[in-house]
Chain A
Amino acid sequence: MASRKETILQFLAENEAAFTAAEIAEQLDLDRANASRYLNELYKSGEINKINGRPVRYQKLIVMESIIEEEAFSKLIGSDASLKMMIQQAKAAILYPPNGLHTMILGKTGTGKSLFAECMYKFAVESNTLNDEAPFISFNCADYAQNPQLLYGHIFGVKKGSFTGATEDRDGLLKKANGGILFLDEIHRLPPEGQEALFTFIDKGEFRPLGESGTVTQVSVQIIGATTEGTESLLSTFKRRIPMTITLPPLSERTIEERYDLVTTFLQQEAYRLGQKIVVEREVLSAFMLYQPEGNIGQIQRDLKLVCAKAFLHYRTQNHDHLQISQKDLPLQVQKGLLFIKEAPESMERLIDMKKSNFSFLPASQERILSETDPAADMRVYTAIDQKVNEISQGEVPDNIELETLLQSDMEEYFREYVEKLSMTDIHQEIIPQEISRLTDKLYDVIEERLSRKYDGKARFAFALHLQSMIERVKEHRNIVHPDLNDVRKRYSKEFQVAIELSGIIEEEFNIELPFDEIGFITMFLTIELGETPNQKEHMVEVFVLMHGNSTATSMLETAQELLDMKYGYALNMPLTMEVQKMYEQLRKLVLENQAQYTSGILLLTDMGSLTSFGNMIYEETGIRTKALSMVSTPIVLEAVRMASIGRSLEDIYQTCQSNFENMTRQMIQTDDKKPQAILVTCFTGEGVAAHIYNRIKLNINENKVKIIQLQFLHREAFKKKIDDLMEEYEIKAIVGTVEFNYQNIPFFSAYDIFENEKLNLLRRIVDEEVPVEQIVSSLEGQLVHVGSVQKLILLLQKMVHEIQSQMQTILEPGVDIGIILHLAFLVERLKTGNFDRHFPEREAYQKQHRLEMDIVKTAMLKLEKEYRIHIPTDEIAFVVQMLVNNQMN
């Protein structure tokens, strides 16, 4: 029998080509079934190659030694053991004449498929199958999996006009890979039409770009596909159509020597990258060699990276001279490896010297670094820690506070801030893709059941946003470190368990793997209570409006309240007949009655005279911090009430209102040195949500005049500093972002706002080019003589016209607001000097038709009437309404 097998082997060795079982049976005059069996046995013993297809073909092994001294695969760990056969197959696939065989690499996540494909390319170059310049293009089909059309276009190219936005012909990856290798990772994510097109290419060497119906394109490209072992039916399709299949072994099938090599090589690499000695305890090495990571080699790599990052944090903050990794630093799952130490093969002892307790890795050489695209080469984790440490150590840190602890608590604070701010802002559904919001709901079903706790919409929303960026992050292999991971795990073990369960769902849904740090973050989302805004009431400053006159205070406050749509603040009127003493008693009584509520202080807004001195008196009698502002006008009441109602501090409100007042005069002086205008667009990453916002507003803003700056928002204080810097250079007209942010009186727009036309218009109006107030004022010089300060009037009118527009949710044709402002200025002047009597044609009917607008304008005019003690006739209000209504944009 052996002789027949030998005959077959001999026959194949003498031929270059591949043969089917039937052909060999015929050639050698054998029974076909027997020939088939022998061939199979020969293949299994590794003596010949098998090429999948219909029918299956067999071929002699390509004998490497005769070709070159090859290096490409030799650096792969296990190249002479677990991977030996796969490397043989890979070499055959590359060398197969004329252009190599299209190949499928199968293997669980983290078994090194991408690296293996890269090695195949390197081998192709080394063996002169491909020239040095031949392209190697690597693409992960999961990247565009949500958009089949885009994915198809990316691979096969796009014909101009095939869809909106396809403004020109675009080459696909296949074209770009001409003469080389195209590596398609996660090939099972290709949509059916993409698969079909790919198979057509494999069979015929030709394809059609998206939207191309006529000519076909021909290129010479070797395809290497990779997939985790998916469903049987999918796999069999690929196996049938792609001739060569190479299956990489999971970690459990690797030898203990290979495990040792893997762990030590990674440590060696990290030492090299950091330029620093890494010392590990023996237990650490043992644990890494014995634990059972589901994510195979990839996970070992990530777990080691995490451990090194922690060691690096320690090293940087404690000023050690090397990185030290102890057993206690290991993630729980890795530590569990030590449980298997009794069953560990004896060779463990040979590999790890049991007498030594520490093992050092010096940054000497880099010999095993294989992949240029190795995600582990990412140094961002270290850079981030580094920056943080520098940032903090440059500030003043008391000696008795440990930097490391500070960093960790900083992390926690950052996280808390993140969640709270997120939930305050609302964002349009379109920002959150449907699949994410669906997943969020699904996850919360699990969470609420497991933890028997309820989470509100805000919590869900914040989590959805986090999920979205997390998934992007993980897909792009951007690591995020959670320095408090162990603590979180211990303290919130129940939530952590649920988070692990959730991560399973997320991983399955998106075909990604979540590092433990991400799970740590998810845990924190489950622990943070996002109920009603807690104890905000006691932190609020109370605002009292005190004015001379029967109802001045009341109406000023009411105007503000109406404009802000809230009830906040107290008004105290002082009729001219009332004695000052009585007024003071009223205030004092009110304050004493509610003393407990005023722990954050009181702000008194007054007009003039003795009322202003009440501040000190109240403070001395009650001990409640009290500030008083005099010469207050409605805009200041408005601002004070607004700020107090959102919980700003007394000092903050006081300063702002005061500077508002100063601004009015300063604006007069400011002249030509106008800074360029800018809008800031922000989110946590500076690239995610901010990019959405940017795309939305850039269509509405003239970028030649207004610069749109995208910024990352991580920490509030750091962000303020950034704004300060930018303000040196720009006049910042607005901030648009995910986190509500009030600073320097820069108008803030949430992402939600920006996706509403009305708010977008407001933004547009804010950045509209304005005629400087001082120019308007100076042109009116000598014309308005009964209104006092012209500039004050114009500023008031300007603000009023803006407010009316917001209230009416309308945007006017450019210039109309200036027209109205001037019209009103003259109207005030005229009314101050006497009556102005003209009739709006058919006013009553018009009034009925525009009741809402009439109301808004009338309310806004109240301020003007109070301020200038005039009465504006209804006819005039109707004229203004007409200017507003008829001059709307579109």
Chain B
Amino acid sequence: MSKKTIMLVCSAGMSTSLLVTKMQKAAEEKGIETDIFAVSASEADTHLAEKDVNVLLLGPQVRFMKDQFDKKVADKGIPVDVINMADYGTMNGEKVLDTALGMIK
């Protein structure tokens, strides 16, 4: 299994960075090789260009950007979704990780 790259996007990349930490921890426990990182909305484009992102997750507060990202990454075939509010509210890294991995085709 190759390395999975998961990109989290929120307004400033602050709150999602905590989630990233928790997801990384969960991945380690499961022994899955991942590259998980959080960026602010404005940084997203640069990262998309530089990295080979497998899945893109949005913080609920920037749910409105989903359409925008859907279009942007359509040609790359990257799945995009909004993080479940309960998982986000409780910073449930394991569940968000599972969701993300499930989204990768």
Which residues of A pack against B, CB within 8 Å? 771, 775-776, 779-780, 783, 813-816, 818-820, 822-823, 825-827, 830, 836, 838, 841, 879, 883, 886-887
**B32 on the interface (CB 8 Å rule)?**
no
Contact B14 A816 (CB under 8 A): no
In the assembled complex, the Cα of A681 lies from the Cα of B105 at a distance in Å of: 49
Decide: A823 near B90, CB < 8 A? Known: A838-B12, A879-B11. no
Contact B61 A827 (CB under 8 A): no
**B62 on the interface (CB 8 Å rule)?**
yes
Contact A775 B12 (CB under 8 A): no
Inside 8 A of B10's CB, which chain A residues have their CB? 819, 823
Decide: A823 near B59, CB < 8 A? Known: A815-B84, A830-B14, A879-B11. yes
Contact A815 B11 (CB under 8 A): no
Inside 8 A of B64's CB, which chain A residues have their CB? 883, 886-887
Contact A826 B12 (CB under 8 A): yes
Closest Cβ–Cβ distance, residue B65 to chain A (whole Å)? 8
In the assembled complex, the Cα of A549 lies from the Cα of B64 at a distance in Å of: 41
In the assembled complex, the Cα of A826 lies from the Cα of B19 at a distance in Å of: 12
In the complex, besides A826-B14, A827-B12, 20 extra interface pairs with C-beta distance below 8 angstroms are A771-B86, A771-B89, A771-B90, A776-B89, A779-B92, A780-B18, A780-B91, A783-B18, A815-B82, A815-B84, A815-B85, A818-B60, A819-B63, A823-B12, A823-B61, A826-B15, A838-B12, A838-B40, A879-B12, A886-B64
In the assembled complex, the Cα of A836 lies from the Cα of B64 at a distance in Å of: 24
Q: Which of B18, B42, B60 has the most CB of A within 10 A?
A: B60
In the assembled complex, the Cα of A735 lies from the Cα of B72 at a distance in Å of: 47
**B37 on the interface (CB 8 Å rule)?**
no
Residue of A whose beta carbon sits closest to that of B65: A886
Contact A819 B62 (CB under 8 A): yes
Q: Which of A771, A779, A783, A820 has the most CB of B within 10 A?
A: A779
Contact A827 B14 (CB under 8 A): yes
Closest Cβ–Cβ distance, residue B52 to chain A (whole Å)? 27
Closest Cβ–Cβ distance, residue A359 to chain B (whole Å)? 76
Inside 8 A of A771's CB, which chain B residues have their CB? 85-86, 89-90
Contact B63 A813 (CB under 8 A): yes
Contact A818 B88 (CB under 8 A): yes
Inside 8 A of A830's CB, which chain B residues have their CB? 14
Quick one: which of B11, B63, B85, B89 contacts A823, CB cutoff 8 A?
A: B11
In the assembled complex, the Cα of A825 lies from the Cα of B12 at a distance in Å of: 12
Inside 8 A of A815's CB, which chain B residues have their CB? 60, 63, 82, 84-85, 88-89
In the assembled complex, the Cα of A137 lies from the Cα of B54 at a distance in Å of: 72
Inside 8 A of B14's CB, which chain A residues have their CB? 823, 826-827, 830
Quick one: which of B11, B60, B63, B90 contacts A775, CB cutoff 8 A?
A: B90
In the assembled complex, the Cα of A841 lies from the Cα of B43 at a distance in Å of: 13
In the assembled complex, the Cα of A816 lies from the Cα of B40 at a distance in Å of: 16
Decide: A818 near B63, CB < 8 A? Known: A826-B12, A827-B12, A879-B12. no
Closest Cβ–Cβ distance, residue A828 to chain B (whole Å)? 10
Contact A818 B85 (CB under 8 A): yes
Inside 8 A of B63's CB, which chain A residues have their CB? 813, 815-816, 819, 887
Q: Can you list 26 pairs linking A and B with CB atoms under 8 Å apart?
A: A771-B89, A776-B90, A779-B89, A779-B91, A779-B92, A780-B91, A813-B60, A813-B63, A815-B60, A815-B85, A815-B88, A815-B89, A816-B63, A818-B60, A818-B88, A818-B89, A819-B62, A819-B63, A822-B61, A823-B11, A823-B12, A823-B15, A826-B15, A827-B14, A838-B40, A887-B64
Inside 8 A of B86's CB, which chain A residues have their CB? 771
Contact B62 A775 (CB under 8 A): no
Residue of A whose beta carbon sits closest to that of B93: A779
Inside 8 A of A780's CB, which chain B residues have their CB? 18, 91
Decide: A816 near B60, CB < 8 A? Known: A783-B18, A883-B11. yes
In the assembled complex, the Cα of A826 lies from the Cα of B18 at a distance in Å of: 10
Contact A819 B59 (CB under 8 A): yes
Contact B91 A819 (CB under 8 A): no
Contact residues of B between 11 and 53, Cβ < 8 Å to A: 11-12, 14-15, 18, 40, 42
In the assembled complex, the Cα of A639 lies from the Cα of B18 at a distance in Å of: 34
Q: Which of B11, B40, B62, B91 has the most CB of A within 10 A?
A: B11
Residue of A whose beta carbon sits closest to that of B22: A779
Inside 8 A of A818's CB, which chain B residues have their CB? 60, 85, 88-89
Closest Cβ–Cβ distance, residue A811 to chain B (whole Å)? 14
Pairs A-B, 4 closest by C-beta atoms: A815-B85, A819-B61, A771-B89, A819-B60
Closest Cβ–Cβ distance, residue A468 to chain B (whole Å)? 43
Contact B40 A822 (CB under 8 A): no
In the assembled complex, the Cα of A836 lies from the Cα of B12 at a distance in Å of: 10
Cβ proximity bits B49-83 to A, threshold 8 Å, 1 near / 0 not:
00000000001111110000000000000000010
Decide: A822 near B62, CB < 8 A? Known: A815-B82, A830-B14, A883-B11. no
Residue of A whose beta carbon sits closest to that of B62: A883
In the assembled complex, the Cα of A78 lies from the Cα of B23 at a distance in Å of: 92
In the assembled complex, the Cα of A819 lies from the Cα of B64 at a distance in Å of: 12
In the assembled complex, the Cα of A823 lies from the Cα of B17 at a distance in Å of: 11
Contact B15 A779 (CB under 8 A): no
Residue of A whose beta carbon sits closest to that of B59: A819
Inside 8 A of B82's CB, which chain A residues have their CB? 815
In the assembled complex, the Cα of A372 lies from the Cα of B92 at a distance in Å of: 66
Contact A819 B90 (CB under 8 A): no
Closest Cβ–Cβ distance, residue A857 to chain B (whole Å)? 13
Contact B89 A822 (CB under 8 A): yes
Cβ proximity bits B86-103 to A, threshold 8 Å, 1 near / 0 not:
101111100000000000
Decide: A816 near B61, CB < 8 A? Known: A823-B10, A825-B15, A838-B40. yes
Contact B61 A883 (CB under 8 A): yes
Residue of B whose beta carbon sits closest to that of A818: B89
In the assembled complex, the Cα of A154 lies from the Cα of B42 at a distance in Å of: 64
In the assembled complex, the Cα of A813 lies from the Cα of B59 at a distance in Å of: 12
Residue of B whose beta carbon sits closest to that of A814: B85
Inside 8 A of B92's CB, which chain A residues have their CB? 779
Contact A822 B12 (CB under 8 A): no
Q: Which of B62, B89, B91 has the most CB of A within 10 A?
A: B89
Closest Cβ–Cβ distance, residue A459 to chain B (whole Å)? 48
Residue of A whose beta carbon sits closest to that of B61: A819
In the assembled complex, the Cα of A819 lies from the Cα of B19 at a distance in Å of: 12
In the assembled complex, the Cα of A400 lies from the Cα of B50 at a distance in Å of: 91
Inside 8 A of A827's CB, which chain B residues have their CB? 12, 14
Inside 8 A of A883's CB, which chain B residues have their CB? 11, 61-62, 64
Contact B89 A775 (CB under 8 A): yes
In the assembled complex, the Cα of A775 lies from the Cα of B91 at a distance in Å of: 9
Closest Cβ–Cβ distance, residue A769 to chain B (whole Å)? 8
Inside 8 A of B61's CB, which chain A residues have their CB? 816, 819-820, 822-823, 883, 887
Inside 8 A of B15's CB, which chain A residues have their CB? 819, 822-823, 825-826
In the assembled complex, the Cα of A781 lies from the Cα of B27 at a distance in Å of: 20
Inside 8 A of A783's CB, which chain B residues have their CB? 18
In the assembled complex, the Cα of A217 lies from the Cα of B28 at a distance in Å of: 76
Inside 8 A of B18's CB, which chain A residues have their CB? 780, 783, 826
In the assembled complex, the Cα of A783 lies from the Cα of B15 at a distance in Å of: 10
Residue of A whose beta carbon sits closest to that of B14: A826
In the assembled complex, the Cα of A780 lies from the Cα of B17 at a distance in Å of: 12
Inside 8 A of B91's CB, which chain A residues have their CB? 779-780
Residue of A whose beta carbon sits closest to that of B10: A823
Contact A819 B85 (CB under 8 A): yes
Inside 8 A of A841's CB, which chain B residues have their CB? 42
Inside 8 A of B42's CB, which chain A residues have their CB? 838, 841
In the assembled complex, the Cα of A775 lies from the Cα of B59 at a distance in Å of: 18
In the assembled complex, the Cα of A495 lies from the Cα of B38 at a distance in Å of: 76
In the assembled complex, the Cα of A841 lies from the Cα of B41 at a distance in Å of: 12
In the assembled complex, the Cα of A838 lies from the Cα of B11 at a distance in Å of: 11
Closest Cβ–Cβ distance, residue A819 to chain B (whole Å)? 3
Inside 8 A of B88's CB, which chain A residues have their CB? 815, 818-819, 822
